[in-house]
A and B are shown apart, each in its own frame.
Chain A
Amino acid sequence: MKKVLAFLALLVIGAGIMSGCWSRKELNELAIVLGVGVDRTPDDQVQLTLQLARPSAFVGGGEARGREPATWVVSETGKTVLDAQRKLALRISRNIYWSHCVIAVVGEDAARSGIRRYISFFAQAPQPRETMWFLVARGKAGDILESRSILEKTSAQDIGFLARARTGYSVNFKDFLVMLATKGSNPIAARVEIIGRGVVPGAPAMEKSVEEEGPALTGTAVFRGETLAGWLDESETRGLLWLRGEVLKGIISIPSPAEPGKEMSIDIIRGRTIVKPRYDGESVWFDVEIIVEGDLLEQQSKDELPEREALEAIERAMAGEVEKKARLALEKAQAEFGADLFDFGVAFHRKYPKKWKEIKDRWNELFAGAEVRFSVEAHLRRSGLIAKRLTPRE
C-alpha cells in the first residue's frame, strides 16, 4: 500500500513539475514598461502608448555608455486600455510587464472627458503598482513618452525623479485614487509638458550645439470630480501646496524692506498649515493658519541683517508673500474651477460629520462661495553662511 501511495505521489509531483511552470517569466521574455501614456483619440477610443526598456542598452559599468537608444515607444488604439494592450501585444515580441512602470501620464483630452475610464485598469490589475507617479500631460501623453532625457537613460526615469523631488505637487497613483474616491476632495496631479531644456554642447565632430527638448513638471492639473478643470502654474502651485499643508518648501522672493527696488530670496524649509472649518448653522467659512520657517539665502540689497527691526520687517514681508500666493491659488480654485482642491471638505467632514451628510453633494458650490481668512506667521531662522552683508558700508 505504501509503495502505491508513494508512486502516486511521485507521479503527481512529477506531472506538476514537468508540465511546465505556468507563471514563469524569464527575464529576457519581458517587455519592461517604464512609462505609460493614455490618450483619447478623436473618435473617442483609448490610445495606449508604452515606453519599453531596451535592456541591451543598460549593460553595467566598465564599458563606455553607448548612445544607443535605451527605450522603444509603441502606441496602439483600442476600446479600452486592455483592448489596446492586446493589440500592442501583437507587435511586441515579449510579455508586457507592468511592475516597473514608473509613471502614468494621461493626455489632456482624455482627462477632460472623464478620467475613470482610463485609469481603472491600473488600479485593478495586480502588476501596476500604486506607487507610480500620476501626471497629466499638456497635450498628448504619447508625445511625453517619446521624449528623450539628457541626464537619465530614459525619459520615464527622468520624469520619475522629477516627481520624486517634489518641487511641484507630485501625486502617486494611490493618492490620486484616494482623492478621487473621497467626497470633499478633488484630485490634482502634476502637469508635464515638453519644453526647451538647455543645450548640449556639440562634440568636436558636430558643428553646432544642439538645443534639447525634454519633459518637465511645469505646474498642476486640477480636476473637478472626474474631469480636468484647468491648470495652475508654478507659482500658483506653490500657493496650493501651502494651503494643503504639504511640502511647505520653496523659494520666495520679497522686495527688501530697506531698499524696495532690490530683491531678497528666502528658502522656506518647513512649515505647518492648520485649516479650521467653521459653521454657524447657515454659512461655511474657514480659518487658515500658516506658519513657515525659512533661510535667507540671497540678498541683492545691502540690508544689515542681525538687527531686530530688520529681521521683523523681513519676516512680515515673508508672511505677506506667502499669503498672497495662497490667496492666488484659492481664488483661482474658487472662481475659475469651482472645485475644492485643498481638502477643506475633508476637514469639514471630520469636524461636522452630521452636517456633512447633508451638504456633501453640493460641496464644490459651497466651497466656491466660502470665505477664507488667513493668518500667516513667518520666521527667519538662518541666513546661510553669512551674518553680515557682503559689500562694505558706504
Chain B
Amino acid sequence: MLEGGRIGARQAVFLMVSMVLPTAFLFVASVTSHLARQDGWISILLATLAALLIARLAVSLSLRFPGKTLFQFTEEILGRWPGKAVTLLYIWWYIHMNAEIVRQFGSFVVSAFMPETPIIFIELLITAIAAYAVRNGLEVFTRVNEIVLPLILGSVVIIIFLVTPEMNMKNLLPVFEYGAVPVIKGAVMPAAWMGEIVTMAVLIPYLSRAEEAHRIAAAATLITGFFLAVTQVIDIAIFGPEITAGWLFPALNEIRMIHLANYLERLEAIQMGIWVAGGLVKICVFYWAAALGSAQWLELKDYKPLVLPLGAILLAMSITLHDSILDLFDFLGRYWGPYALTIFIAGIPLLLLAVAAARGRGGSPG
C-alpha cells in the first residue's frame, strides 16, 4: 500500500492547523500591517472567510472521488495526460512551497539567534528530521504533532496573557481609515496561507472517516484564523501600525516585551521552540504531499524511496532560490499570494470541479 496510515478527526484538525499557524504566527502582523495598517485584523477575518470557501471547494471536490487523492482524481477528471500535467504542477507547487518554507525557517533562526551560522546547516538538520518522519509514514508526524501543537497553542495563550500590560488597544483605532481596498489587499497573503487547506484534497483518503472532512477543514480554518487575528490585534496594540510593519518578525518583538514582576523576561526561546516544532510539522506535511504525489504520478508502489531524493532537491532549491532574506520576503510579499491563490488554491480546484461536474465524473459530493 502506498500509505497505510489512517488518522482520526482530531489529529487531522491538528495537522491542518499546524500546517499554517506556527509559522504564520510569527510574521503575519508585519505583512498585513504593511498594507492594511491597523485594520489588519479585519484582513485576517476576510482571509478566513475566503479560506472557508476554499476548504469547502476542495473537500467537495475530493469527496466526489472517495479514496483518491488530488493527484489521482485529477487524472480521472481530465484524462490521463492532461491530468498528469496538472498533477505535475501541483507536485511542483508543493516542492517549491516547501523550499520557500525551509528557507524562511532557516532565515528566522539565523537572523534572530545565530547570525554567524551558515543557513545550510540549520536547514539540513530540520530537513533530515522531516525526512525521517515522512519516511515512517503519515501517522508518525501526525502523532508528533498531537504532542507539539497543544504545547504551541498553550504557549501562545500564555504569551498573550503575559504581554497584556504592554498592549494599548487604542492603537487599533481608527477603523477603516483608508477605506476597504487596503484591507482587501492585506487579506491576500493570509488567504494564500490559510488557503493551503486545499491540501485536504491529498489527506482525505487517509482519514479514518472521510465524511468528517468538511468539519475538519472548517474547524482547522477557524482555529487558525482566530489565532492569527488575535496575534494581529496584539502586535498592533503593542507597537502601533507603523512599527509593526517595520519589524520582520513582530511576534518575536512582542515576546521580547514580556516583562513581568521584574523577573519573567527574555522568553524569546519560546518563540524559537514554537517556530521550530511547528515548522517541522509544516515541512513534513508538504514533504509528504510531494512524496506521495510523486509516487502516485509515477505510479509507484511506495513513496519511501522518493523521500531522500526529494529532500536533496528541497535543500538545493531553498539555497538557490533567493540570495538574501530581503529577496525572500520581497518575493513572498509581492508574488507568492497571487501566484498561489490563483493557480493552485482556487484556480485549478475550481476548474477541476467544473470539469468534473460537466463531464459527470465522480460520485455525488459527500
A–B interface present (Cβ within 8 A): yes
Interface residues of A, Cβ cutoff 8 Å to B: 5, 9, 12, 16, 21-23, 126, 129-131, 164, 174, 177-178, 181-182, 346, 349-351, 353
Q: Is B303 an interface residue (CB 8 A)?
A: no
Complex Cα gap A285–B246 (Å):
33
User: Is B239's CB under 8 angstroms from A12's CB?
Assistant: no
Stretch at the interface among B111-119, B141-149, B318-326, B337-345: B111-119
- Find B112's partner among A12, A126, A131 (CB 8 Å cutoff): A126
Residues of B at the A interface (CB closer than 8 Å) are 111-118, 121, 124, 128, 170, 173-174, 177, 238-240, 242-243, 246, 253, 256-257, 259, 262, 265, 308
Tell me whether B170 and A350 are in contact (CB under 8 A): yes
A178 — which chain B residues lie within 8 A by C-beta?
Answer: 239-240, 242-243
Contact A350–B174 (Cβ < 8 Å): yes
Contacting pair B257 A130 (CB below 8 A)? yes
Q: Nearest chain-B residue to A22 (Cβ)? A: B116
Number of A-B contacts (CB under 8 A): 51
A5 lies within 8 A of B117 (CB): no
Besides A23-B114, A23-B115, A181-B246, 16 more A-B contacts (Cβ < 8 Å) are A5-B308, A9-B128, A126-B111, A126-B112, A126-B115, A129-B256, A130-B256, A131-B257, A131-B265, A164-B262, A178-B239, A178-B240, A178-B243, A181-B240, A349-B174, A350-B173
Contact B257 A174 (CB under 8 A): yes
Least CB distance, A201 to chain B, in whole angstroms: 30
Residues of B near A351 (CB, < 8 A) are 174
Instruction: Tell me which of B112, B114, B174, B242 contacts A181 (CB under 8 A).
Output: B242
Across-interface contacts of B262 in A (CB, < 8 A): 164
10 contacts between A and B (CB under 8 A): A9-B128, A16-B124, A23-B117, A126-B111, A126-B115, A174-B257, A178-B239, A178-B243, A350-B173, A353-B177
Are A131 and B259 in contact, with the CB atoms below 8 A?
Answer: yes
The distance from the CB of B251 to the nearest CB of chain A, in whole angstroms, is 13
A159 to B137, CA, bound (A): 57
Nearest CB in chain B to that of A25: its residue:
B116
Residues in B neighbouring A177, C-beta threshold 8 A: 243
A123 to chain B: closest residue by CB: B246
Q: Which residues of B contact A350 (CB under 8 A)?
A: 170, 173-174
Residue of A12, A129, A349 near B124 (CB, 8 A) is: A12
- A185 — nearest CB in chain B belongs to which residue? B240
Considering the chains assembled together, what is the distance between the CA atoms of A195 and B265 in angstroms?
Answer: 32
Among the listed A16, A22, A129, A131, which residue makes an inter-chain contact with B114, where contact means beta carbons less than 8 Å apart?
Answer: A22
A182–B242 CB distance below 8 A: yes
User: Considering only CB atoms, which chain A residue lies closest to B245 in the complex?
Assistant: A181
Q: A181 to chain B: which residues have CB within 8 Å?
A: 240, 242-243, 246
* A22–B256 CB distance below 8 A: no
In Å, the complex CA distance between A349 and B240 comes to: 13
Contacts of A174 in B (CB 8 A): 238-239, 243, 253, 257
Q: Pick the 5 closest A-B CB pairs, nearest first.
A: A23-B114, A22-B116, A350-B173, A353-B174, A181-B242
In the bound complex, what is the Cα–Cα distance between A353 and B178 (angstroms)? 9
Write out the residue numbers on chain A whose beta carbons fall within 8 Å of the beta carbon of B121: 16
CB distance from B315 to the nearest CB of A (A): 11
B146 smallest CB distance to A (angstroms): 28
CB-CB under 8 A from B238, the residues of chain A are 174
Minimum distance in angstroms from A13 CB to a CB of chain B: 9
Q: Closest Cβ of chain A: how far from B177's Cβ, in Å? A: 5
> Which residue of chain B is the closest to A346 with respect to CB atoms?
B170
CA distance A245 to B262 in the complex (A): 23
Nearest CB in chain A to that of B259: its residue: A131
Chain B residues lying within 8 Å of A23, measured Cβ to Cβ, are 113-117
Which has the most chain A C-beta neighbours within 10 Å: B113, B239, B253? B239
